Amino acid sequence: MALDLQQMGKAARQASRQFARVSTDQKNAALYAIADALDSHSAEILEINAADVEAGRANGLDAALLDRLSLKGRLAGIAEDVRAVAKLPDPIGEIFDVAEMSNGLHLRKQRTPLGVLGVIYEARPNVTVDVAALALKTSNAAILRGGKETLHSNIALIKVIQEALAGCGLPAEAIQFISDTDRKYIAELLRLYEYVDMIIPRGGAGLHKFCRENSNIPVITGGIGIVHMFVDESADLDAALPVIHNAKVQRPSVCNALDTLLVHQQVAQGFIPRVIEHLSASGVSFRLDPRAQQLVTPDGDRILPAGENDWDTEWMALILGIRVVDDLDQALEHIDQHSSWHSEAILTANENHAARFVAAVDSAAVFVNASTRFNDGGQFGLGAEIAVSTQKIHARGPMGLRELTSYKWVAHGDYHVRK
Nearer to a copy of itself, 49 or 348 (CB): 348
CB of 399 to a copy of itself, least distance (A): 11
Report the length, in residues, of the chain.
419
- Residue 349 interacting with a copy of itself (CB under 8 A): no
CB of 353 to a copy of itself, least distance (A): 13
d(CA 371, CA 240): 9
Beta bridge partners of 373: none
Buried b (16+ CB within 10 A) or exposed e, 147-186: bbbbbbbbebbbbbbbebbeebebbbbbbbbbbeeeeebb
Nearer to a copy of itself, 179 or 369 (CB): 369
Which pairing describes strands 106-113 and 95-100: parallel, antiparallel, or unpaired?
Answer: antiparallel
CA distances from 274 to 240, 279, 330 (A): 11, 9, 22
d(CA 267, CA 42): 55
User: Cβ atoms within 10 A of the Cβ of 311, count?
Assistant: 19
d(CA 399, CA 261): 27
- In this chain, which of 193, 253, 281, 307 binds a copy of itself, going by CB under 8 A? 193
Task: Burial-class residue 351 by CB neighbours within 10 Å (0-12, 13-18, 19+).
Answer: exposed
d(CA 401, CA 384): 7
- Judge whether 56 and 65 are in contact, CB under 8 Å: yes
CB of 101 to a copy of itself, least distance (A): 6
- Judge whether 358 and 407 are in contact, CB under 8 Å: no
Nearer to a copy of itself, 268 or 370 (CB): 370
- In this chain, which of 21, 59, 60, 206 binds a copy of itself, going by CB under 8 A? 21
CB of 274 to a copy of itself, least distance (A): 15
- Residue 418 interacting with a copy of itself (CB under 8 A): yes
307 to 346, contacts with a copy of itself by CB under 8 A? 336
CB of 402 to a copy of itself, least distance (A): 10
Binding mask 91-110 for a copy of itself (x = CB under 8 A): --------x-x---x-x--x
210 to 269, contacts with a copy of itself by CB under 8 A? 212-213, 216, 218-219, 236, 239-240, 242-243, 245-246, 250
- Residue 409 interacting with a copy of itself (CB under 8 A): yes
CB of 161 to a copy of itself, least distance (A): 24
Number of residues that bind a copy of itself (CB under 8 A): 70
d(CA 397, CA 256): 11
CB of 357 to a copy of itself, least distance (A): 10
32 to 91, contacts with a copy of itself by CB under 8 A? none
The footprint of a copy of itself (CB under 8 A) covers 17, 20-21, 99, 101, 105, 107, 110, 112, 114-115, 193, 197-198, 212-213, 216, 218-219, 236, 239-240, 242-243, 245-246, 250, 336, 347, 354, 358-360, 362-371, 373-376, 379-381, 391-394, 396-398, 406-418
